[in-house]
Structure 1
Amino acid sequence: MLVAHAVWHGGALCLWAERSGPHHLPGDPTGDPTRHPYATNDFGGTSYAPFTQGAPRITVALHLPTSTGPGSVPVPSPELATVPGDGAIELRPWDVPALAIDPFAAMALLQQAEESADVVAGADLRFLGVIADTARDLVRRGRVLPALLREDGEPTARWRPVPDAARVRRLASAMPSACRAADGGRPAGDVLREALGGLTDTFVRGTVPHPLLPPRKGRAPDPLPLTERWAAALTGPDPFVPREPGDDLDDLAAELDSWAAAAQRPSGPLRTCFRLVEPEPTGPPDLWRVEFALQGTDDPSLYVPASTVWAGEAASLGDAEEALLAGLGRALRLFPDLSEALDGSAPSELRTNVAGAFRFLRGAAPLLAAAGFGVLLPQWAGKTRLGLTLTTTQAEPGAATSSGFGLGSLVDFRWDLAVGDDPISEAELTELARLKAPLVRLRGQWVELDEEQLQAALDFLRRPRTGTMTAAQAVQAAVHAGDDTLPLLKVDADGPLGDLLSGEADHRLAPTRTPESFNGELRPFQERGLSWLRFLDDLALGGILADSMGLGKTAQVLALLAMERAEGAEAAPTLLVVPMSLVGNWQREAAKFTPKLRVYVHHGGGRRRGEELAEAVARADLVVTTYGTAARDAAMLAEIAWARVVCDEAQALKNSGTRQARAVRGIPARTRIALTGTPVENHLTELWSIMEFANPGMLGPRAAFRERFAAPIEERGDGEAVAALRRVTGPFVLRRLKTDKSIITDLPEKHEIKVYCNLTAEQASLYQATVDDMLARIAELSGKATDEQAARRGLVLATMARLKQVCNHPAHLLKDGSRLPGRSGKLERLEGICAEIMEQGEKALAFTQYAEFGSMLQPYLAARLGRPVLWLHGGTPKRRRDELIQRFQEDAEPSVFLLSLKAAGTGLTLTAANHVIHIDRWWNPAVEDQATDRAFRIGQTKNVQVRKLLCVGTIEERVDEMIERKKALAESIVGTGEDWLTELSVADLREALRLSPEAVSD
């Protein structure tokens, strides 16, 4: 038996173990009388091994209780349940072999120190685990501040905890004496301060992204300013700050120390506030003021100018004068210009010039706001920008209507510079550049103009700004024009090109009426979609119809084909590429809505080839094929002149390098349409791939797209990059949501519910064994695998799958054909939900990502519910699939339809159900929403209830929490897949996978 002990020494966690056994043996086997005879740093073969892998072996001198009787050996720890020999006890130094644990491994170890079965955690190690939990809690509550310290004489960037004083006192008083055994015995407060600081710094570094600051716009200075080098060290692997001549380390450290001191003081009801006031129109043009005031912390509308405070008119606020002076004193380190205003006894404002106002606006204001001071800026601050405008007019006569205008048509263009909505002349810009003023008053409003913007604008004036180009070139210019320095502010174009480039085609184009040959009535938003599709077709442009699932993308495309056929134009056929599961759906929809449309299905072993294919295509208006067939017959399909290629469920093209995606992109056509409810599932490059199909080259090379948009958005959540991407893709993507009541008013409500389930004892045992096995195998991979990262990634993903199977049912993991009843909390909950739905006379769709689990559930649920349970999966033949769908939609009896998420998560209409159950989570909201939309779509007349089953205290609950925290970004552009889990550190993996006590039912 081993008892694990630890001390915080030298800025690291030093871990050692005490062996069990008799304690009367003399001395140390090696002959060193100062070495602890029963201490070891060998944790091999134990559950601690993953944390100790590769840790340096050291020797630490510890003052430990020692028996003064015969043998003079250390007193065993209470965890060994033995008693010392006779004699007195005294503290005596012993050399203890220990391991210096890496900070992140130490954090992970301390969070599970009490859970091991083969190593008992000593009181000292358990207490350090409490400190780790305290550090984690402080970070989660934002009770941390950055600091600049000196370690071994070198400047070091660290994260400093800001704990409650009462909590520190409680921790110090509870510290076991063994935690203070290093360095001859240390005060509890010193040990606590060092350990809590080190663990807090470690936890923040594992949480905050690197780099902390966004990249500089333009060329970075060399060397970087001290503050930027310090900020980089706060999250980088090396906390030491590179030194450069002229660095004022003491000044920065003092500012940060003052910030920390202010954070430790109780926050009152008032805070000091600074308001930037621009010059009066009738006063001196260079007189700016920074007004001082007191502002309510809870009620910002409470604003008392400093002049009112000094006049004695703020008596109701208590010690207002003292609060104001204290706040100004703390702000001085962040805003050095304040010193000019603090010479008097009643400072109320700082008077400054335009340069000082700009320093406050760009430098001091953000720092003051971050430190908790109030900051009020003029409305124009950060909003009125210098940028570009593009104006185009049609150069060709007789092209006033969309039918006479195409991408080859010529347009006259003119580029201009503008500030906000107002154009700026070359003479005005030259004068502004001459003045070199960062803040200028232009036509009655103040504008920020930095040197980089002015230089970029002057360079722009040297290029040709007028001329003639094709409409296609105008589109490319508008898409790629502008950057962060000189953004594209506005496009002013007439005719169809103006509608497109404005990004308002859906709103500005008059809706096209439903064609008479269309057997049905399009809704108003669908008529607008039809008009948009026709509009792009007139310009020979492709587009992405990205309406959310259930809004009738199929109907809008069929209406477009019906309109073309009714106009009598000799048009080439349209090629439609779909997943195999949707071939029958398109056939049925075409027969229902456009019975006069000639449809030919090119699929199956008996499909036509060569001349026979060309003849069949010539007699068709719509040719339907599958992605697989298109890849196999790409050469044959490329020889045919297609009016357009339409790809349904176009997320099948999201991986641009696959043979399937390359084959479909290689089929020539006049225009292309991508249909998808999820243009982005996991990564932004998927959007690039779909757009590359619809409009080849429109978004530039993939690498450039990733550098400009994908990396800033996915890695840093860059809001400006999000806005720029929306502007770039806006003209070619039409996206409407069925939750938008302005789009559709008669769709019922959707209610999402998370249903939490407990594990049985058997499930919990299998779960813990699976986690332990993975961590042990990750430890074995270190330095052994040819491609360690790939092997680790595969191991983590395999473990994810196994843990989800455990949460489903032990028999799902074991695959032993054993009985199902009584062994799974999730199965018991699923059975109860289905029974309740049946009693209400309603129907449910139940989705699982595992076909093997669905095959186990189908006969079990049918027997338990006493009703037929339908089961559709990837191996279901097409004819059988159609029969199951028709039976569920039309017959009253089957109340539960069990479906494979991959095979049935898209393309189906199952509105007979108004309940959706996600049995096991895919952890991708986009994929789950697609599946839910089988029921929540046009044709649904009842409110839809969506239940997502989660096993509490397991990875299912923790990943759900992570997804919820990231959902704002996911819903704006980026989806959330599960591959990111493979990149977590061992500590984060252990946290994500650990089994909580509440997971197991009583």
Structure 2
Amino acid sequence: MLALHCLVTAAGELALWAEDSDLPTRRAGRASRTVEEHPFAVPASVLAERVAVAGAADESRVLLPSRPSAPVASPELVRDPLTAPATPRGAVTLRPWRVPTVRLAPAVFAASPVAERDDVRAGASVRFLSQVAAFAEDLVTRGRVLPSIVSESGRPAARWRPTLSGVDSARYARLRDALPPVLRAVQVDPELLDGRPVDDVLHPVLDAFVDAAARARLTGVRLAPPGRFTAAEAAAGALLRGLVGDNPRLAVPPERATRLASAVDTWRSGAVHDGPVRACFRLRSPDQAEDHRSDDWTLEFLLQAADDPSVLVSAAQVWSGDRDQVLRRWVARPAELLLADLGRAGRVYPDLDAALREAHPVGLRLDTAGAHRFLSRAAALDQAGFGVLLPSWWRASSRVGLKLTTTSRGTAGTVTRDSVLGKDELVDYRWDLALGDLTLTEDELRELAAAKVPLVRVRGQWVHVDQRQLAAGLAFLERSGDGRMSVGEVLELAGMPADDDAFPLPVVDIGGTGWLADLLGGAVETTLEPVDTPEGFTADLRPYQRRGLAWLVFLDRLGLGACLADDMGLGKTVQLLALEALARSDTERPPTLLVCPMSVVGNWQREAERFTPGLRVHVHHGADRLTGPQLAKAVSDADLVITTYALAARDAAALGKLTWDRIVLDEAQNIKNSAARQSQAVRSLRARHRVALTGTPVENRLAELWSIMDFANPGLLGPLARFRARFAVPVERHNDEDAAARLRRITGPFVLRRVKTDPAIIDDLPDKLEMKQLCNLTAEQASLYRAVVDDMLAKIDESEGVQRKGLVLATMTKLKQVCNHPAQFLGDGSRIAGRSGKLARLEDTLEEVLADGDRALCFTQFAAFGGMLVPYLAARFDTEVAFLHGGTPKRQRDTLVERFQSGEGPSIFLLSLKAGGTGLTLTAANHVIHLDRWWNPAVEDQATDRAFRIGQRRDVQVRKFVCIGTLEERIDKMIEQKKALAQLVVGAGENWLTELSTAELRELVTLSSEAVGE
């Protein structure tokens, strides 16, 4: 496996280099005066071939953390724990090494970012540069760039450069603080063991990415018109030609280039301020002024650090020199800068000209109309690069909106199983006008309508009123002040974008009294009375599960879709099965279609048998699945039909012809890509009610939430394009909290999310929750499994005694290896991804564990299997994975345990059962996963007790992976059926298997048809 890194050379270029986990660490001389070659750096030619990049081969001197004999391997370099060289001894210091590199143009990196594969893992520097490239692309998209003339190799060149101000300056500061040390590790001075300043690295890289992105946008565009021009015009034309295409050099005389560069710099400084210190303006209302008797507003002048907005120095302090030392950290002459900035700001806000008549201006007094003019120009000042501090009420109360108050009969707590509700039920409503958070009375509306200025005081606070919006709102109230509308119409309003053309003003709030208001206000889960456990349901629901069931029943009565997004391990399956049992306890209904990943089909089938034995279940899966009339007959005779996402897409036409009462998606994140075939297929199926089950409603992007919600309640969030513009882009790119709040208001009634750390949940959970995780085999695993079984059965009749016992035990070991992974059984070092159902289940589980910030212990009885998993999981989840096995030295063993327990080490700890199953305290983990079974409950319990013991402050979830239809499932059932005799029957490990007859062995190991996944 390659660990890929990037450097910024002394010339400001990018240089790619890599470490190879397969190259051994050779000892380097301690006292060598020459810079040693990095012992496991990849040759440039090999690197270019493996990563498929085009660039010039080169070499760099790099300062790296090192021990006396070798550099320290980077965190991204994952070696096979069983074959890795011993860790060199000695203190860690910075030391120069020679590394082969491939030089990359920023445009090449931005256009083709390095993609991670099983054998290539991007380091922190590569991932960081991807963030810088994305930042540059965003700046170009928003036009936050300007031309400049720079010197390159002594010759003038035209380049696009960013203009950073406001939020962009803060984003740059965050990037600067997060810059990985390896990016600036190139040793500029051979005599100095020190890297370069961060800004000396980040500034040229950002400039290069911005220039590349701007040129890419201008491909094929001609900026300079053709024709003959004067010398000055020719120089300007050369600049325009240099800003497009691949050649930025300016073909003009040096003196003309110098004058042109000066003119461009002057123009840039007048267009936007991107220095380290800038003028800042703070508006204070009359009630905030020191002289409370005055009715004037005050505009204060200050200087502000661009990348640390909390550093403010008033103009009075600038003139007095009180904060001179603070300011001189950024600028040599702060007073001159303040005057210059006030002059530039006057072009945007002309009222400042009055202040410039004073020798030492500190502020400006304004009347109410003048304050409004400043507020109106505040955005333009901010866009020009100045700091603007506005009163807190400005944004919140500057919007006139509509408020809908509904009144429905009864509350959510009175909605019982006998209630008959629906989208057509009528509720009373009343429209009001709201100004920010204030609902306006008729008297206040009349006063506002008569106001002569946009800034007025309402209930003791200043607000901004848009008279045109106010007039439009008053006209709307006259047309539709109150009346009655259906529940469906109210729900449509709740999901309607605020800028919808149907309303002259945004709908800012929907409230009221009754069950509908409880639903829209998010109070349903706490006000609904938990329903009784349905007849025929064999489990005891915990209090939070009963609340979840009542919530599902409530939405079911309304015909509204639900997304049950409880944390992993909180029992989404039992809540859904309880809903099915309750729904069919007193009425005849069409069946429910449950769509799930192949890996959990068996889980659902067995959980239904266990908790709802009266539920008629049909599994639509396999090559011999029913079709046509036979399928229709089987479905009509069933209560629950289980199928997979792949088959839902493949058989969409057949399933779409059948009648469904409810469609349920388990692991609903499988439809996060709304354009995928299986997503479109399940959304096309018709049913009275829809339920999505997922522990991760949003994994990477908000568009995933849209896809799930559009399945549960089609049209609720509008078209995807509008959703992206209104929510996804503001929230994901700009952390817009207002947009996030609006999204929560719309989706909140239909998403129930409980996590294990909720105070209301944690008291309901058991100390230790054990569960079986049923997995399917891949086709490759099934083929290998059958081959091993056939080989044993062909030989067993001819063997006896010790030979027979050895054959049986060897076969059991081989079958367990096949169930784990084909590569473990074959021992051929082949690829890991996509070949094992058990590994796929492990990835799904660990993804949720890591998303919750939890830690997991993973036990296997095969050290070789653990050695395979370490590099794969480390690359898959981009995190360190610890591994303790029988060959781990005591000192290293103690270090692994100490780091894991400290909370600063890896979140995934792989352990071989023999080496790590006893004698350790690993209470930092609250998840225990048994990858393969020892078939001895006592041994497994001892391993589980590494986490579930004194000192554990959280509930422990224990998962035992079992492959469906294999000897793993059959032996697990035997143990469950004979728990009282478990210690007698299987206390000696697996030896009891050798005493079974050939017929019993054949029954035990024969592969079932349901074992194989798709």
Could you state the TM-score of these two structures normalised by the residue count of structure 1?
Answer: 0.50
The 5 Å alignment of 1:190-205 reads 201-205=207-211
CA separation of 1:277/1:303 partners in 2, compared to 1, >3 Å: closer, same or farther?
Answer: farther
Separation in structure 2 between the aligned mates of residue 390 and residue 523 of structure 1, nearest angstrom:
37
Q: Give the structure 1 partner of residue 756 of structure 2.
A: 738
Separation in structure 2 between the aligned mates of residue 823 and residue 649 of structure 1, nearest angstrom:
27
Mapped contact 2:149–2:159 kept (Cα < 8 A): yes
Q: Give the structure 1 partner of residue 297 of structure 2.
A: 288
CA separation of 1:564/1:307 partners in 2, compared to 1, >3 Å: closer, same or farther?
Answer: same
The 5 Å alignment of 1:289-368 reads 289-291=298-300, 328-333=338-343, 335-336=345-346, 337-341=351-355, 343-344=357-358, 347-361=361-375, 363-364=377-378, 367=381
Give 1:708 deviation, angstroms. Answer: 3.6
Give 1:554 deviation, angstroms. Answer: 0.5
Matched, 1:443 2:459: yes
* Equivalent position to 1:892, from 919, 939, 944: 939
Separation in structure 1 between the aligned mates of residue 568 and residue 744 of structure 2, nearest angstrom:
21
Q: Give the structure 2 partner of residue 410 of structure 1.
A: 426
Give 1:502 deviation, angstroms. Answer: 2.0
Does the residue aligned with 2:431 lie in a helix, a strand or coil?
strand
Q: Give the structure 1 partner of residue 284 of structure 2.
A: 276
Give 1:542 deviation, angstroms. Answer: 0.9
Give 1:531 deviation, angstroms. Answer: 1.8
Paired letter, 1:469: M
Give 1:599 deviation, angstroms. Answer: 3.3
Separation in structure 2 between the aligned mates of residue 46 and residue 590 of structure 1, nearest angstrom:
53
Structure 1 range deviating more: 628-637 or 550-559: 628-637
CA separation of 1:863/1:554 partners in 2, compared to 1, >3 Å: closer, same or farther?
Answer: closer
Mapped contact 2:520–2:745 kept (Cα < 8 A): no
| 1:922-961 per-position Cα deviation (integer Å, ceiling 9, x unaligned) | xxxxxxxxxxxxxxxxxxxxxxxxxxxxxxxxxxxxxxxx
Identity %: 42
| 1:828-853 per-position Cα deviation (integer Å, ceiling 9, x unaligned) | 99795344899999x99xxxxxxxxx
Structure 1 range deviating more: 200-209 or 651-660: 200-209
CA separation of 1:628/1:463 partners in 2, compared to 1, >3 Å: closer, same or farther?
Answer: same
Mapped contact 2:885–2:915 kept (Cα < 8 A): no
Separation in structure 1 between the aligned mates of residue 625 and residue 321 of structure 2, nearest angstrom:
93
Separation in structure 2 between the aligned mates of residue 299 and residue 666 of structure 1, nearest angstrom:
51
| 1:727-773 per-position Cα deviation (integer Å, ceiling 9, x unaligned) | 222222222233445533587999xxxxxxxxxxxxxxxxxxxxxxx
Separation in structure 1 between the aligned mates of residue 215 and residue 749 of structure 2, nearest angstrom:
33
Does the residue aligned with 1:498 lie in a helix, a strand or coil?
helix
Paired letter, 1:506: E
Separation in structure 2 between the aligned mates of residue 250 and residue 884 of structure 1, nearest angstrom:
64
Does the residue aligned with 2:723 lie in a helix, a strand or coil?
helix
Give 1:363 deviation, angstroms. Answer: 3.8
Matched, 1:577 2:595: yes
CA separation of 1:324/1:462 partners in 2, compared to 1, >3 Å: closer, same or farther?
Answer: farther
Mapped contact 1:643–1:671 kept (Cα < 8 A): yes
Does the residue aligned with 2:554 lie in a helix, a strand or coil?
helix
* Equivalent position to 2:549, from 524, 530, 549: 530
Separation in structure 1 between the aligned mates of residue 327 and residue 706 of structure 2, nearest angstrom:
60
Separation in structure 1 between the aligned mates of residue 411 and residue 762 of structure 2, nearest angstrom:
40
Q: Give the structure 1 partner of residue 122 of structure 2.
A: none
Does the residue aligned with 1:526 lie in a helix, a strand or coil?
helix
Paired letter, 2:275: A
Give 1:621 deviation, angstroms. Answer: 3.6
Mapped contact 1:272–1:324 kept (Cα < 8 A): no
Give 1:298 deviation, angstroms. Answer: 13
Q: Give the structure 2 partner of residue 479 of structure 1.
A: 495
Give 1:696 deviation, angstroms. Answer: 2.3
Give 1:519 deviation, angstroms. Answer: 3.2
Q: Give the structure 1 partner of residue 118 of structure 2.
A: none
Separation in structure 1 between the aligned mates of residue 303 and residue 521 of structure 2, nearest angstrom:
45
User: What stretches of structure 2 of length at least 5 have no aligned partner?
Assistant: 1-8, 15-44, 57-103, 115-128, 151-155, 177-187, 191-198, 218-239, 249-262, 769-822, 834-863, 875-879, 898-909, 919-928, 945-954, 962-1014
CA separation of 1:380/1:836 partners in 2, compared to 1, >3 Å: closer, same or farther?
Answer: farther
Mapped contact 2:412–2:519 kept (Cα < 8 A): no
Does the residue aligned with 1:892 lie in a helix, a strand or coil?
helix
Q: Give the structure 1 partner of residue 391 of structure 2.
A: 378
CA separation of 1:377/1:628 partners in 2, compared to 1, >3 Å: closer, same or farther?
Answer: closer
Give 1:532 deviation, angstroms. Answer: 1.3
Separation in structure 2 between the aligned mates of residue 390 and residue 452 of structure 1, nearest angstrom:
21
* Equivalent position to 1:626, from 629, 644, 666: 644
Give 1:476 deviation, angstroms. Answer: 0.7
Q: Give the structure 2 partner of residue 833 of structure 1.
A: 884
Does the residue aligned with 2:643 lie in a helix, a strand or coil?
strand
Separation in structure 2 between the aligned mates of residue 701 and residue 351 of structure 1, nearest angstrom:
48
Paired letter, 1:418: A
Mapped contact 1:411–1:470 kept (Cα < 8 A): yes
Give 1:700 deviation, angstroms. Answer: 2.8
CA separation of 1:605/1:891 partners in 2, compared to 1, >3 Å: closer, same or farther?
Answer: farther
Paired letter, 2:939: A
Mapped contact 1:401–1:495 kept (Cα < 8 A): no
* Equivalent position to 1:690, from 690, 708, 714: 708
CA separation of 1:638/1:102 partners in 2, compared to 1, >3 Å: closer, same or farther?
Answer: closer
Give 1:651 deviation, angstroms. Answer: 2.6
Separation in structure 2 between the aligned mates of residue 298 and residue 154 of structure 1, nearest angstrom:
27
Q: Give the structure 2 partner of residue 997 of structure 1.
A: none
Does the residue aligned with 1:332 lie in a helix, a strand or coil?
helix
CA separation of 1:577/1:459 partners in 2, compared to 1, >3 Å: closer, same or farther?
Answer: same
The 5 Å alignment of 1:104-503 reads 104=107, 201-205=207-211, 253-255=268-270, 260=275, 262=277, 274-279=282-287, 287-291=296-300, 328-333=338-343, 335-336=345-346, 337-341=351-355, 343-344=357-358, 347-361=361-375, 363-364=377-378, 367=381, 376-384=389-397, 385-394=399-408, 401=415, 403-424=419-440, 432=448, 435=451, 437-450=453-466, 453-454=469-470, 457=473, 460=476, 464-483=480-499, 486-503=505-522
Paired letter, 1:260: G
User: What stretches of structure 1 of length at least 5 have no aligned partner?
Assistant: 1-6, 14-43, 54-100, 112-131, 165-173, 177-192, 212-232, 241-247, 264-270, 751-804, 845-857, 868-881, 898-908, 916-1002
How many residues end up aligned between the 2 structures? 642
Q: CA RMSD in A?
A: 6.7
Give 1:408 deviation, angstroms. Answer: 1.5
Separation in structure 1 between the aligned mates of residue 313 and residue 676 of structure 2, nearest angstrom:
65
Q: Give the structure 2 partner of residue 543 of structure 1.
A: 562
Give 1:595 deviation, angstroms. Answer: 3.6
| 1:466-521 per-position Cα deviation (integer Å, ceiling 9, x unaligned) | 44332112111221052399443221243322122223323343444555754333
Mapped contact 1:575–1:623 kept (Cα < 8 A): yes
Give 1:409 deviation, angstroms. Answer: 1.0
CA separation of 1:311/1:256 partners in 2, compared to 1, >3 Å: closer, same or farther?
Answer: closer
Mapped contact 1:278–1:289 kept (Cα < 8 A): yes
Q: Give the structure 1 partner of residue 526 of structure 2.
A: 507
The 5 Å alignment of 1:915-994 reads none
Does the residue aligned with 1:408 lie in a helix, a strand or coil?
coil
Separation in structure 1 between the aligned mates of residue 737 and residue 214 of structure 2, nearest angstrom:
18
Does the residue aligned with 1:417 lie in a helix, a strand or coil?
strand
The 5 Å alignment of 1:608-627 reads 616-617=634-635, 620-627=638-645
Does the residue aligned with 1:381 lie in a helix, a strand or coil?
helix
Give 1:580 deviation, angstroms. Answer: 2.7
Separation in structure 2 between the aligned mates of residue 690 and residue 102 of structure 1, nearest angstrom:
40
Does the residue aligned with 2:393 lie in a helix, a strand or coil?
coil
Give 1:279 deviation, angstroms. Answer: 4.8
CA separation of 1:912/1:553 partners in 2, compared to 1, >3 Å: closer, same or farther?
Answer: closer
CA separation of 1:720/1:347 partners in 2, compared to 1, >3 Å: closer, same or farther?
Answer: same
Separation in structure 2 between the aligned mates of residue 450 and residue 251 of structure 1, nearest angstrom:
38
